[in-house]
Amino acid sequence: MSETTEARVLRVLRQYAEHLNPGWVRGFKFLGVETLEVEASGAIIRDAYGRDYLDFACGPAVFIVGHRHPRVVEAARRELDRMPLSVRIMPNESMGELAELLAEVTPGDLQYVFFCNSGAEANEGALKLARAATGRPGVVATIGAFHGKTLGALSVSGREQYRTPFAPLLPGVVHVPFGDAAALAAALTPQTGAVILEPIQGENGVVVPPDGYLRAVRALCDRAGALLILDEVQTGMGRTGTMWACEREGAVPDILTASKGLGGGIAPVGAFIARPHLWTTLTQHPYMHTTTFGNRLGWAASIATIRVIQEEGLLPRATAIGDRLMAGLRTAAAASPGVVTGVRGRGCLVGVEFADPDVAFLVLAGMVQRRVLAFHGINRPEVIRFAPPLVATDAQVDRAVTAFSEALVEAQGLLGEMAAAAEARTTT
């Protein structure tokens, strides 16, 4: 007899609990996703019970052109059928073409690219390059930042809870408040080799800095002789309405890191790209910084993804989606004063901040019941992050807003009932 869907789900949850992490299983239960993701297309994910979910989380802001965009799938399939991984001792067309294309679509004179497999790896490489190029060990990072969880990337990330068990981390790193150019200026010393920050802090709950911040940071770095590393892992590839978020201020970094959307939702691809004079160490010693896998399939997907973003008008679409989404969320939030403390973002990167993280979680769970997915930033559980794909329709945006609005009302009702029950217990 074939296994029922319930039995399949239970088997997988047991495997997760016994061999991956029981904490994840608790999370699935709280959120109400005791099911299996099975297939996906565009902004829709289908589960093992055949139910469709609207994906406005996009994983952690990954699926920039939606799930399995046909042009991206086609490009990846071509490499799958020919040679998905590079042998590394011969050149290949996908890697060359993607490097040239990235140099073309990134600002200023960013020119040389190193490909890797994740955002953390991209930031590790950028930090190493900055050290080698400047000979200075110091790094200034920002409080609340998220740059990944390998040791180097964690050292410049800014949530103590994730850092403390792994101390001591990289020496010479100081953290300053994000968005505060004066604090950054005060932290720069002759030993500072690099400043690393996100143009908008994604995992810290979509924190948008004041206008002019990136330009001021650029000027401060120039004055101090420090390199500016902009982590566009989350904000890049069109998510905020320009191909890279730094374009909005015309601030050109010395090193830019990318990942997430870069693989087009088909494969993990990371990259750091730098100005040519910084590449000297890697040019003199071409095997100074290396990685095993040459992901031809992913690079082909990346090329197709950039073309899709450019040719299907997805940059203005990101802005239109974000404006419609934020307007809807603000209207919904206004009906619950004091519960939601802010709606902010740019393009398809939107955060809704709650006074109480438990309410944020209840709202997320209520949205899941209505088959709409969003998630909180990893460093700020009180902020729900919406990261819809740039191919979302207006109707899908409206569906997400309705789900949020209903879940918010329901969460408040639930909390009211719990408070009443608690009061009844104390008075009897």
Q: State yes or no: residue 209 binds ligand PLP (CB under 6 A).
A: no
CA distance 386 to 409: 19
Pick from 16, 41, 44, 60 the residue near ligand PLP by CB under 6 A.
Answer: 60
Size of the site for ligand PLP (CB under 6 A): 15
Tokens representing 290 are 């290396």
By the rule CB under 6 A, 147 interacts with ligand PLP: yes
Check if the beta carbon of residue 186 is closer than 8 Å to that of residue 128.
Answer: no
Q: How far apart are CA 259 and CA 357, in angstroms?
A: 28
Of 114-122, 344-352, 368-376, 389-397, the window that binds ligand PLP (rule: CB under 6 A) is 114-122
CB of 257 to ligand PLP, least distance (A): 7
Contact 65, 305 (CB under 8 A): yes
Task: Please say which residue, 231 or 249, places its beta carbon nearer to ligand PLP.
Answer: 231
Residues 6 or more apart whose Cβ sits within 8 Å of residue 147: 119, 120, 123, 141, 153, 154, 156, 157, 196, 198, 231, 233
The residue range among 18-26, 32-40, 140-148, 289-297 that interacts with ligand PLP, by the rule CB under 6 A, is 140-148
Q: How far is the CB of 379 from ligand PLP (least distance, A)?
A: 9
Q: Is the dihedral of CA 382, 388, 393, 394 positive or negative?
A: positive
Please tell me whether residue 118 binds ligand PLP under the rule CB under 6 A.
yes
Amino acid at 406: E
Q: Which two tokens stand for residue 109?
A: 């004179």
SS3 label, residue 126? helix
**Minimum distance of ligand PLP from residue 187's CB (angstroms):** 20
Using the contact rule CB under 6 A, the part of the chain among 5-13, 113-121, 166-174, 364-372 near ligand PLP is 113-121
Query: Could you tell me the smallest distance in angstroms from the CB atom of residue 198 to ligand PLP?
Result: 5
Distance CA 294, CA 79 (A): 12
Name the minimum Å distance from CB 334 to ligand PLP.
29
Site pattern 218..257 for ligand PLP (x: CB under 6 A): -------------x-xx-----------------------
Subset of 266-305 contacting ligand PLP (CB under 6 A)? none
Task: Indicate whether 203 belongs to the interface with ligand PLP (CB under 6 A).
Answer: yes
What minimum distance in Å lies between the beta carbon of 210 and ligand PLP?
A: 19
354 near ligand PLP (CB under 6 A): no
Instruction: Tell me whether residue 232 or residue 254 sits nearer to ligand PLP (CB atom).
Output: 232
- Which window, 25-33, 197-205, 295-303, 313-321, contacts ligand PLP (CB under 6 A)? 197-205
Structure tokens at 182: 């004066």
Phi-psi map region of 84: left, alpha, beta (phi>0 left; psi -120 to 50 alpha): alpha
Cα 317 from Cα 410, distance rounded (Å): 31
d(CA 121, CA 272): 9
Question: Taking CB under 6 A as the rule, does residue 94 contact ligand PLP?
Answer: no
Rounded CA separation 414/184 (Å): 44
Interaction residues for ligand PLP, span 175-194 (CB under 6 A): none
Q: Which stretch binds ligand PLP (CB under 6 A): 118-126, 218-226, 315-323, 412-420?
A: 118-126
Smallest gap, in angstroms, from Cβ of residue 147 to ligand PLP? 5
State the helix-helix crossing angle for 296-311 and 314-334, rounded to 10 degrees: 80
φ and ψ at residue 286, rounded to 5 degrees:
-60, -15
124 binds ligand PLP (CB under 6 A): no
Contact between 299 and 269 under an 8 Å Cβ cutoff? The reply is yes
Could you say whether residue 146 binds ligand PLP (CB under 6 A)? Answer: yes
Q: What is the DSSP letter of 50?
A: S
Distance (Å, rounded) from C-alpha 363 to C-alpha 355? 13
Q: Does 198 bind ligand PLP (CB under 6 A)?
A: yes
Residue 379 touches ligand PLP, criterion: CB under 6 A: no
- Cα–Cα–Cα angle for 386, 392, 394, rounded to 5 degrees: 100
Minimum CB–partner distance for residue 351 and ligand PLP (Å): 13
Please identify the residue of the shown chain whose CB is closest to the bound ligand PLP. 119
> What residues line the site for ligand PLP (CB under 6 A)?
60, 118-120, 123, 146-148, 198, 202-203, 231, 233-234, 259
